[in-house]
Amino acid sequence: MAARNIFTVDVEEFHDRIAYVRWIDQNGVHEYASIKKAIKTIIKLLEETGNSGTFFFLGKTAERHPDLVKRVFDAGHEIGSHGYSHTELQNLTPKRFDAELARTERIIKKITGTRPTSFRAPKFSLTKETSWAVDVLKKRGYTNDSSVFPFSMFLFGYGSSKAPLGPYPISSKDIYAPDTISTMVEYPEAIGNIIGIRFPFKVRHMGTLITSIVIRMLNRKGLPATLGVHPWELTPVPEAYKDMPLTFKRLLRDYNIPCDRTYAKLFKKFSFTSIERYRSEMR
């Protein structure tokens, strides 16, 4: 059987992007059409190739678009939690984090009848400093997490090159060291690794060829590649945001590379599944 990989989506809207949040009036113009279009595209691509994935919904996005949650769930994919308000863990307390999780669980359960058991922190904000979050998650019954980035993005305040490259049991004692007695499994995002040198990459920037090399390198070690995408990576910049400051536009140009075709090719070449299903197949 071909090696299985993990496909994930952080379901949030264009105006939720942490890198741009300061330029966007959160109460102002919002573009709703693009997220629906993007999710529809992702579901279709997965379906056509017999793959599935985990969709980490922001609580507020699920609240605004219950039809989207239902659609993803009915198509057989896993619904995970991305927190409620897209606040990074370092800006939350354990109590506020617990409340964010509870609120999102209620919203998702109302739509699907089940509550999420997989979590992803906004902007990979699970670090040494925020390791308390693992205990909060465990207490609320989560069994899977995908919030560790195994490369130090020190300029942006997240990631660690000490983290394993593939799934490992995680605990708050040392979030980068496998803890065999822990029942919670961490699924770090895929990064490149050539002759022991790690490098981060984004599918939208690297395209099919480099991504395929990264996936094969991980698979050769017996590890799955965990890929992640946002709906806004698949659609052009919403019309409402065309008049942003120059800095914003510069960033935008860098980030706005619709990558649906890349995913279409990757889904044909490799086998992808959700975190939940990957874990049950591993048992």
Binding site for Zn ion (CB under 5 A): 10, 12, 122
Smallest gap from Cβ 282 to Zn ion, in A, equals 26
Supply the minimum distance, in Å, between the C-beta of residue 100 and Zn ion.
13
Nearer to Zn ion, 10 or 78 (CB): 10
Q: What whole-number distance in Å separates Cα of residue 248 and Cα of residue 34?
A: 19
Q: In whole angstroms, how close is the CB of 118 to Zn ion at the nearest point? A: 14
**Nearest residue to the partner Zn ion, using Cβ:** 10
- Tell me the Ramachandran region of residue 163: left when phi exceeds 0, alpha when psi lies from -120 to 50, beta otherwise: beta
Residue placing its CB nearer to Zn ion in the complex, 189 or 270: 189
CA angle 104, 105, 108 (to 5 degrees): 85
Amino acid type, 54? T
Q: How far is the CB of 65 from Zn ion (least distance, A)?
A: 15
Instruction: Pick the closer one to Zn ion by CB: 69 or 223.
Output: 69
Smallest gap from residue 123 Cβ to Zn ion (A): 6
Tell me the closest approach of the beta carbon of residue 88 to Zn ion, in angstroms. Answer: 9
Q: Which residue, 86 or 171, is less far from Zn ion as judged by CB?
A: 86
Q: What is the C-alpha to C-alpha distance for residues 85 and 105, in angstroms, rounded to an integer?
A: 13
Closer to Zn ion by CB, 12 or 78: give it.
Answer: 12
Q: What span, in angstroms and rounded, lies between the C-alpha atoms of 227 and 278?
A: 13
| Nearer of residues 8 and 171 to Zn ion, judged by Cβ | 8
